[in-house]
Amino acid sequence: MTNALTVTAPEGLPFIDTEREFDAPLAAVWRAYTEPELIAQWMGPHGSTLKDLEFEARTGGSWGYTHVGEDGSSFGFRGVLHSVEEHKAMTQTFEFSGWPGHVSLERADFEDLDGRTRIRTRSAFQSVEDRDGMVGSGMEGGMSESYERLDELLKTL
């Protein structure tokens, strides 16, 4: 069974909120979110691969990667981890290389559901226009597909 991703973009506010549950323990979900060799197995839409992956899962660490699609197209992303609270939360910046200077601040909260895990995120953008650009970019579809890939990986951990 696939758990549904919920994406909310409140009218007139520069935020995107998401929520998704996983049929796996918190420790496994946290590992998949923080270990580069695991991130490489699930991050990105179906058929994509990651290159140039770096992820320092610590407060003050940096992260970055490039999605490469089946057609050879590539999209880079990068940021800084401002706060990492093991098994609880991460706060980071997020920037798309194709739109430099439009940086969002994101927080992901991880919740133990007695053998299952819920992740809630809030992304704060510099403007409603930046937020609307993200919503219009296909981020919901890409995020849903990434989480489907994560579901498959979690079955093996």
Q: What is the CATH number of the domain that holds 145?
A: 3.30.530.20
- Return the pLDDT at 101: 87
Q: Structural domain tally of the chain? A: 1
Structural domain contains residue 41: yes
Please indicate, yes or no, if residue 42 is contained in any of the structural domains. Answer: yes
Q: Distance (Å, rounded) from C-alpha 22 to C-alpha 115?
A: 9
49 lies in a domain? Answer: yes
Residue 106 lies in a domain: yes
Look up residue 89 and give its two tokens: 């939360």
| pTM attached to this predicted model | 0.94
Integer-rounded Cα Rg, in Å, for the chain is 15
pLDDT in single tens digits along all 157 residues of the chain: 579 999 999 999 999 999 999 999 999 999 999 999 999 999 999 999 999 999 999 999 999 999 999 999 999 999 999 999 999 999 999 998 888 889 999 999 999 999 999 999 999 999 999 999 899 888 899 999 999 999 999 999 9
pLDDT value at residue 59: 98
Can you tell me the distance from the alpha carbon of 36 to that of 38, in angstroms, rounded to the nearest whole number? Answer: 5
Domain that includes residue 37, residue range? 6-154
Per the domain annotation, does 1 fall within a domain?
no
